Structure 1
Amino acid sequence: MATLREIELRLKSVRNIEKITKSMKMIASTKLAKAQRAMQAGKQYGLANSEVFDHVPSNTGDKKLFIIVSSDKGLCGGIHSSVSKATRRAFTGVESPIPGITVEADSPIAVIGDKSKNQIIRQLGENLTMTFNQIGRDIPTFADAAGVADLIVKSGVQYDSVYIVYNKFVSALSYEAAVMTVKGEEALKESDAFKIYENEDDGTKDLAEFSLANAIFAALTEGHACEQSARRNAMDSASKNATDMIARLQMQYNRGRQAAITNELVDIITGASAL
């Protein structure tokens, strides 16, 4: 049995934790509103990309590059595990997040964020070719996405299609892993919709890189909104658990204190009776 002093120290510690989690929940709620506004703006970039690639053949080339979008921060539940698990399922053939697409075992992987990097490296470390951190520490900007796209293009990794695995914002209480597809330069060149224009090679290359940056930016903003939502929900659950634990410890402390007082009264009465 824990002593009254130990219970009292435990109560003080849990109360301090409750204050911290409630403060973090309030901060996450404020950041979520900003993240949702940024997500709505970022979605416009993703919609523009989808309109472009609606006219691009889907069976051009077999080389695929996977980009996993997460972050460097924790305390937000299992949001980073969702994209990591979806990628592992695709590579192991259990359940592909891209219907009708076969994933080669040697397809390269680029990871944005240290959290998913540590999860992916355990099983798919040989496929990991690039990692990025310190991206979107506050609210992701297009400059962050453009920097990632530029490094990917300059890295020399060969790909015909890029599959961006990210967290899709469903509501303030839920999210799900989703995939966004971006075609490479060769796919754009082979498209009949683009052949009718007299495009220079540099123009097609720039368009492919710009489209990749657009898609990464859309995925970053939506993933950031999911992260803030998950962090708020995690801190809310932690605060409720702390409140329940405080109630249990307070009851245990009161019972122990009452037992100690009763024992002291018994000793006093026994001594008085002996006299």
Structure 2
Amino acid sequence: MKVVASTKLNRAMRAMNESKAFGETSNKVYEEAETKVPQEAKTLIVVASSDKGLCGGIHSALSKATRKKLLDNPNADLVILGEKCKAQLQREKSQNIVLSFGNVGKDIPTFTEAQTVADQIFQLPKQYDNIEVLFNTYLSPVSYDQKTIQTYSVDSFSESANFSAFEIDDEELPNLREFALANAIYWALAEGHACEQSARRNAMDNASKNAGEMIQKFQILFNRTRQAVITGELVEIITGAAASEES
């Protein structure tokens, strides 16, 4: 499994770099416009997890970060991508979950999948001023952290301080928001997939080392037991021979 994860990690890294370029470029529009979240905004948190395990505590860390966000904003709604975080969060935060998706993480994510998720989110009955995409960000082959990408509503963007610097027609603003959310989800899924493959490789490497150490310990125990049995048999033979000579 370590070899398989190492092979998949190279492909996942390429997909992560491509999606990151799209996501950062899309978010730069909001940064240049100095878009801000209004007070008492309705917030939706999209948690980018997966269905697969055997990758250490990567899903637990994401669930922990989600709980921390809900402490600051207990009325925020959740959309969960993947069964792992859903299983961890629905026990205590089921009232916050409004939508969930399965069959996530089986292969490298695509923009089509992200666009489908974004479409389903915009079909929810509630309108959100702020949509935050929470995911695992890749730091190094042995470390990762949790990161949030924000996408804003049409009203929030149109009320930005530098909105006038962008020549965007009003009828195009909803399309821009949906495209920005799809880019953010695509980035989150791709980078989360790379983190998962890296964590899985490390977990399998640690499992192999632990198994090797366990085999070595049992080998030593086996040799000691074997020597003790042989020594006991020799003592019995010598004792019996000595008794025979005396008799």
**How does the TM-score come out when normalised to structure 2?**
0.92
Would you say 1:71 and 2:63 are equivalent positions? no
CA contact (8 A) 1:86 1:177 kept: yes
Unaligned 5+ segments in structure 1 are 1-23, 94-102
Partner of 1:52: 29
- CA distance in 2 between counterparts of 1:123 and 1:91 reads 11
CA contact (8 A) 2:37 2:130 kept: no
Partner of 2:131: 162
User: Given residue 13 of structure 2, which amino acid in structure 1 is its aligned partner?
Assistant: Q
Per-residue deviation, 1:189: 3.6
- CA distance in 1 between counterparts of 2:29 and 2:50 reads 28
Indicate how the Cα distance of structure 1 residues 169 and 251 shifts in structure 2: closer, same or farther if over 3 A, else same: same
User: Given residue 73 of structure 1, which amino acid in structure 2 is its aligned partner?
Assistant: K
User: Given residue 165 of structure 1, which amino acid in structure 2 is its aligned partner?
Assistant: L
Indicate how the Cα distance of structure 1 residues 117 and 183 shifts in structure 2: closer, same or farther if over 3 A, else same: same
| Mapping 1:1-275, distance limit 5 Å | 24-54=1-31, 55-60=33-38, 62-93=41-72, 103=73, 105-191=74-160, 193=163, 197=167, 199-201=169-171, 203-275=172-244
User: Given residue 129 of structure 1, which amino acid in structure 2 is its aligned partner?
Assistant: V
Per-residue deviation, 1:273: 2.2
For residues 62-81 of structure 1, what are the alpha-carbon distances to aligned partners after superposition, in whole Å with 9 as ceiling and x for unaligned? 11100111111001001111
Indicate how the Cα distance of structure 1 residues 189 and 226 shifts in structure 2: closer, same or farther if over 3 A, else same: same
Indicate how the Cα distance of structure 1 residues 142 and 194 shifts in structure 2: closer, same or farther if over 3 A, else same: farther
CA contact (8 A) 1:188 1:194 kept: no
For residues 70-99 of structure 1, what are the alpha-carbon distances to aligned partners after superposition, in whole Å with 9 as ceiling and x for unaligned? 111001001111111111112224xxxxxx
Indicate how the Cα distance of structure 1 residues 58 and 69 shifts in structure 2: closer, same or farther if over 3 A, else same: same
Q: What count of residue pairs does the alignment treat as equivalent?
A: 241
CA contact (8 A) 1:136 1:144 kept: no
- CA distance in 2 between counterparts of 1:233 and 1:194 reads 49
Unaligned 5+ segments in structure 2 are none
Identity, in percent, stands at 45
- CA distance in 2 between counterparts of 1:259 and 1:144 reads 63
- CA distance in 2 between counterparts of 1:241 and 1:211 reads 44
Per-residue deviation, 1:60: 3.4
